Structure formats: C-alpha cells, structure tokens
Structure 1
Amino acid sequence: MSDAQTPDRAHSSGARTARLYRMVMDKHVCPYGTKSKFLLEREGYSVEDHHLTTRAETDAFKAKHGVSTTPQTFVGNDRIGGYDDLRAWLGKAGKDGPSYTPVLAVFAVGALLAVSLSMFVYGSAFTIRTAEWFVAFSMAMLAMLKLQDVEQFSTMFVGYDLLGMRWVPYAYAYPFLEAAAAILMAGRVLPWLSIPIALTIGTIGAVSVFYAVYIQKRDIKCACVGGSGNVPLGFVSLTENLAMIAMGIWMLVRPAL
C-alpha cells in the first residue's frame, strides 16, 4: 500500500498526467490501485493506467523500480509511491492521533434513527420517545462495536474501569450487558431487568471515567467504541455513562408513556 521515498516533492513541474501501475488480475483487483486512480482523476490528472495482470509481471515491476508494494504512481520523472504516499503528496493525508469522530458518528446516527422512527410513529420529530430511542439506539451501536472484538475491548477496559480492574469477567460481560439494556429499553421491555443493568454499568462507568480523567489526570484511550478506536477517555465517555443513568432514572420515574 505504501512505499514512500524520502525526498520532498512538489507540484512544480505542472504536469497533469500521471502514470499508475496497479494489480488488475482475474481474481484480484488491488483496492488501493482503484482508489489511487480515483484520487488522481478527482484532482484533475489524466491517468495512464497500466495493469499488472500476473504475479510474475508484478514481481518484475517491483524489481525494476526497487519497490516492495503496488500500486505505484509516477508524475513526470518523479515516483510518488503507493496510495498513502500519493495522498500525502496531494495534501490529503489523514491526521493521526485521538479523535472523537467514531463516537460522534454513533450519536449522530442514533439521533437520526430516533427522529425518523418518531416521525413514523407519532408524526413528530421531537417527542419523549425520540429522546428515549436516541439513548437506546446509541447504546446498542456502541455495544455492537465492542462486541466485534470483546478480547481487545476488555484489554482497554480494565485499564481504567474500577470494577474491571478488580474483577476481569466484568470486562467481558460489559458489552453484552450494554446491548441487553439497550435492546430492552428501546421497546420498554422487561424494565425490571433493563433499568438495574443501565443504572449499574452507567454508574460504575461514570465514576471510573471521572476518577481516571479528572482525579488521576490520565491521558488514555476509551474503550467505548471497541478496542480498535482511538477515542480519548474524557467528557464524551462520561456523557455516555451519564446518559445510561439518566435513561434508567427516567424509566423509573415514568414507567409508562
């Protein structure tokens, strides 16, 4: 995917034609080659698209140009490199580091789902059920992300959760508990079960996040979107837990619509 060269490159040559060498075989079309072609064309380049149709042809190309990966893009006499190098050369490289984007995306989709369902059922976008569904849907999606790799999630989770540190099985159970509470709360099914779950895991989570972030001043990643995310532990993580607590209290105060 990436085979960067160290010298800095600029668009000084003014060339608007690029040569792209990528694998296009009967049983494999390199996705990074496809994306490289799209990116170049979007930036206004005319692409000379050279297909490497066999493994032998691909290996010969790599040996000739002294590279270990394909695709490879050339502009003028310069070899730009692989897909990541091309993005960097065009100023499109993504920013590394912590990001709230994954959890904000979950909240945004949860809110829109809640609004859509409320309009269908009640004819109004903003109802009491809109708020309830927003919390339930968001919890369900966050649980789903955790359930993709429970092992990795639990490893991050025991790093800051106060109960998880002392009793590791809780870290494995947490995504299932969150999913169960979310599903039951969405339909107000078995409130005698969903409310205690939400209040328990929400309270433990809120206390754990507050202690780690605001008392210990730790700068660590949150496990809220699963183990693969790079969401910083902080206000958004605390909000997730407070929302669960609020939902549990609300259903206790107003058990029926």
Structure 2
Amino acid sequence: MSKRATIHRMVTPDHLCPWGVKAKDLLRRSGYRVDDRHLKTKEANEAYKRENGVDETPQIFIEGRHVGGYDALREHLGKGPDPKEGKTYQPIVAVFAVTGAMAVTTMLSTSTSATIADGWAWIRVGELCVAFSMCVLGILKLQNLQSYANGFVQYDLVARHWVPYAYVYAFVEAGGGVLMIADIATLVVAPVVLVISAIGAVSIVRAAYIERRDLNCACVGGGSDVPLGFVSLSENLIMIAMAVWMLGKGSV
C-alpha cells in the first residue's frame, strides 16, 4: 500500500509557488501518493494561513499528520536543508568550466590529429579559455551595468574615485576578449587588459586581505553572491598572465 501525503499550495493564474512545486516533486520521488490541493487565489492562501495558524504555504501532511512547510518536509525525509542564497563560487566556476569546454571543442573542431598532439595547440586552448571567459564575464556585467557598478565601486581603487571607470572596465573586458580570440590589435588590447587587471588585483588584495572587508565580487555582474577573495584575485591574475603572454607573442 502506497504512502499518502496531502499538500496545500498556492496555484493561481498569476503565481505558482516554487516551494509547492518542489515539495510535491520531493514527495513523489520519495514514494508518496500526493493529494494536491490548490489555493487558487491570494485571498484563499491568506485565509488558509490564518485559519490554520501558519505563516507560509505550502503545508504538508503525511498520513494525516502535519509536517509543516517545505523545509520541514526535507527535514522529515532526512534530506537536509535546501541550498539557500548565500556565498557561493558556483557562478564563476560555471563560467570557467563552460568556456574551458568551448576552448577545447574549438581546438578539436579546427585542428588535425597532428596539430592536436602539438603542445602549442593546447597553449591555444588556454588562450581561448581566458578570452572566452573575458567575453562571458563582460556580458554578465553589461546585462545590468547599474547593478554591477554598485558592487564594483565598493572595492575598486579607481572606480571608487571615478565611477565611469566601472562602465569602462566592463566594455574593455568584453571587447578585449573578443579581439584576443582572433589575435586582433594585440599590442593595443593586451596593455589595456594588463592595466585594468593589475588595478583589479591590487584592489582585491587591499579590500579582502588588508582591510578584511566582507564584500561580494562584481566579477559575474551585480547581485552575485561570489565572495571577494582568492577566486576573484585568481581571475585578475589570469588576465594579467594572458596580457603578458599576448604582448610577448605580439612583439616576437
């Protein structure tokens, strides 16, 4: 005989409670037959909470016994807490993982088996990975310049005194990545990237390690929860190394 559960959740034409959807899915995956009861208006949802003395929906019952909301359900099922908003490196890891894969597949699609075995081909993969990453990080900043700038000016040594620099940085990062992909105007682009990334590295060292301020990095745009620190600094150091490498190539 299957286990039974009842869920009361808000489902209206304008709003579908995400926690209700997740609770229902978790119950089904845990082997429960779910009696899904919808609260079809905001007023019905408020009335349900008031009448039952609860401050949130969904509310879950298992075999007639009240369990509580989504977090209580996870605890009841031994699943542990649901990941919450907070400090995370996931956005920046995602950027470098995907751009790294893009660089590898680009090399594989344009190279013969002979050049694939050449060590220089894999150096090109590294160049492309950094250039692609600069493009993606630039896009993330450009999609909401105001929000990104609000975070950037809190720690960047130039932007905190001259706010337009924050906007310049986003365009230079994206544009520099585009030009570096094709090795265009290297002797112009590389020095600019070198300067902005060096300023960024010094700014991060000062804010995160000298002043020990608890800030979020604006590297993936505004509103991110990536902590300012080692990963942010590493990103700038990689850009510095890329700029130096491209300068060396261009001067040969």
- Structure 2 gaps, min length 5: none
Structure 1 CA distance for aligned equivalents of residues 86 and 13 of structure 2: 38
The match for 2:216 among 199, 216, 221 is 221
Q: CA RMSD in A?
A: 2.7
Q: TM-score, normalised by structure 1?
A: 0.81
Q: Distance in 2 between matches of 1:117 and 1:197?
A: 26
Cα drift, residue 44 of structure 1: 2.8
Give runs of aligned pairs for residues 94-113 of structure 1, distance below 5 A.
94=83, 97-113=86-102
Shift of 1:230: 1.8
Structure 1 unaligned runs (5+)?
1-14
Answer yes or no: is 1:120 the counterpart of 2:115: no
Residues 184-193 or 245-254, more deviating: 184-193
Matches of 2:216 and 2:205, distance apart in 1: 14
Cα 1:163–1:54, aligned 2, differ >3 Å: closer, same or farther? closer
Identical positions, percent:
47
After TM superposition, give the deviation of residue 152 of structure 1 in Å. 2.1
Q: How many corresponding residue pairs?
A: 242
Residue from 126, 142, 155 that aligns with 1:160: 155
For 1:20, what is the secondary structure of its paired residue? strand
> Quick check: 1:234 aligned with 2:232?
no
Partner of 1:33: 20
TM-score by length of 2: 0.83
Q: Which deviates further from its counterpart, 143-152 or 103-112?
A: 143-152
CA distance in 2, matches of 1:85, 1:176: 46
Q: 1:73 to 1:148 in 2, by over 3 A?
A: farther
**Bigger Cα displacement from structure 2, 168-177 vs 69-78:** 69-78
Amino acid at match of 1:65: N
In the TM superposition, what are the counterparts of 1:1-257 in structure 2 within 5 Å?
Answer: 16-25=3-12, 28-54=15-41, 57-75=44-62, 76-81=64-69, 83-89=70-76, 90-94=79-83, 97-123=86-112, 124=116, 127-255=122-250
What SS does the corresponding residue of 2:160 show, helix, strand or coil? Answer: helix
d(CA) in 2 for partners of 1:204, 1:167: 13
Q: Which amino acid aligns with 1:150?
A: L
Against the structure 1 CA distance between its residues 199 and 79, is the aligned structure 2 distance closer, same or farther, given a 3 Å change threshold?
A: same
